[in-house]
Structure 1
Amino acid sequence: MKELLMYFNRFQALPKEAEIAITEICSTLSIKKNENLQSIGHTCRTIYFVKKGIARIYYYKDGIDITESFSTENTIIARVESLFTGTPSRKAIQIVEDAVIVAINAHKLFQLYDTFPSIERLFRKIFERAYVETVNRIESIQFHSAEERYLALLQDTPNIVQRVPLKCIASYLGITQVSLSRIRANIK
């Protein structure tokens, strides 16, 4: 749980009692490449921390697999629209390479908010950051070319091309694999 607590400390330090309370509601999972952590139609009740590996959120549109986001080591991943509304998600979380995941029971976490306001504050900051990242992603799609989005992805996650199938990267960028190949050829 050391990595998880270090991640939390990037947002704010927690009192020792709060750290202990959070670790008691966590479990560690080892998930193989290409397995779904959560399937489409699942109601999200867990917040995940990627300790090792890569996960992606994806959905199907007109029968085509579309990648919404990637989460690499030391990041949180969850289907928050499902988590906060209690409704099944139209999206899934898939493991892209063998991973070690820390699962945080959301129901128990939310119960800790009353006992530890610092935990509630911490997760407010985490969810605020995720919201800003979502807005930035939407604006990137609206205002930047596919090549600019690709270069930004490489800057944010330099080794992603070696770790994630190109079809997932292309769908994340909103382009075809052929277009991605052209962009990559022009950049080299």
Structure 2
Amino acid sequence: MAMGLSELYRDLFGLTDEPLIQRLTQLGEIRRLKKGHALYREGERPAKVGFLVQGLLRGYFLDAGGRDITDCFAFEHGAPANASIVLGEPASINVEALEDSQVLELPIVPLLELMEEWPQLYRLYSAFLQKALKCHWEVKAAMYQYDAMDRYQWFLRAYPGLHHRVSGKHIASFLGMTQVTLSRLRRILRESGQLQIAQGE
């Protein structure tokens, strides 16, 4: 890839401490994932923590009836590509690549040791956790406070452009509705001329 690991740490995380960047460069590696590849499986204990460099990932779980429920998407440059909140714990969801993707991976044990040595690294991880918690609260609020149409319009605003990259099946399961309902909402917005407005285009 065109960007080296040291430049990637500066670009993704805004790091400026050269000794820290050097240590991370020694530990990190870029993993390339083919579309459909499972990065994590629920119940497995991952040895590495990942950050999205390029592509699109989906987190999902199976409900009591065995239905595939989309929990989250990772699509922004630098987004954590993890399956659990606490480093080293078993994955609470499955994570798969929806497109050919690239993930920056760091081994968890040495990374935890670096956090003890460099407080700025711990603060960075805490910031990631806060952002992830905020995102999940926003999703939860949308699920409980909005009707189906409002949920879909919220999705278009909160995840701009993602409706072109993600199947209706996955969007519908993420928003807690059937594909039939999602198709009906799309038709209503399209026929009323509101679809582009809702997408912010």
Q: Is the 8 A contact 2:50 2:82 kept in 1?
A: yes
2-structure distance, mates of 1:117, 1:179: 48
How far the C-alpha of 1:82 sits from its partner, in A, is 5.9
The alpha-carbon deviation at position 94 of structure 1 amounts to: 0.5
Give the stretch that moved more between structures: 35-44 or 25-34. Answer: 35-44
Residue identity matched to 1:172: F
Q: In the alignment, is residue 5 of structure 1 matched against residue 7 of structure 2? A: no
CA contact (8 A) 2:172 2:179 kept: yes
Secondary structure (helix, strand or coil) at the match of 2:46 reads coil
State the SS of the aligned residue for 1:78: coil
Distance 1:116 1:82 in 2: 19
* AA aligned opposite 2:126: R
User: Which residue number corresponds to residue 41 of structure 1?
Assistant: 43
Give unmatched runs, 5+ long, in structure 1: none
Q: How does 1:151-162 map to 2 (within 5 A)?
A: 151-162=153-164
Q: Going by fraction, where is strand more abundant, 1 or 2?
A: 1
The equivalent of 1:133 in structure 2 is: 135
Give the residue type in structure 1 aligned to 2:80: I
Distance 2:29 2:110 in 1: 12
**Structure 1 letter corresponding to 2:69:** I
3-state DSSP of counterpart to 1:70: strand
SS at match of 1:77: coil
Q: Is the 8 A contact 2:72 2:174 kept in 1?
A: yes
Q: Deviations over 1:21-72 (max 9, x none)?
A: 2222211111111110011221133221111110011011111111000000
Q: Cα deviations across residues 118-143 of structure 1 (Å, max 9, x unaligned)?
A: 11111111111111211222112111
TM-score, normalised to structure 2's length? Answer: 0.84
Q: Which residue in 1 is equivalent to 2:72?
A: 69
Aligned to 1:169: 171
Shift of 1:14: 3.9
How do residues 1-188 of structure 1 correspond to structure 2 at under 5 angstroms? 1=5, 2-9=7-14, 13-61=15-63, 62-74=65-77, 75-81=79-85, 83=87, 86=89, 88-188=90-190
| Larger gyration radius, structure 1 or structure 2 | 2
Q: Which consecutive residues of structure 2, in runs of 5 or more, have no partner in the other structure? A: 191-201
After TM superposition, the structure 1 stretch with the greater mean CA deviation from structure 2, 61-70 or 45-54, is 45-54
TM-score normalised by length of structure 1:
0.89
What RMSD, in angstroms, separates the aligned Cα atoms of the two structures?
1.7
Q: Structure 2: which amino acid aligns with 1:71?
A: A
Q: Using the alignment, how far apart are the partners of 2:86 and 2:66 within structure 1? A: 22
Which amino acid letter does the alignment assign opposite residue 101 of structure 2?
A: A
Equivalences, count: 183
1:66 & 1:21 partners in 2: Cα distance?
38
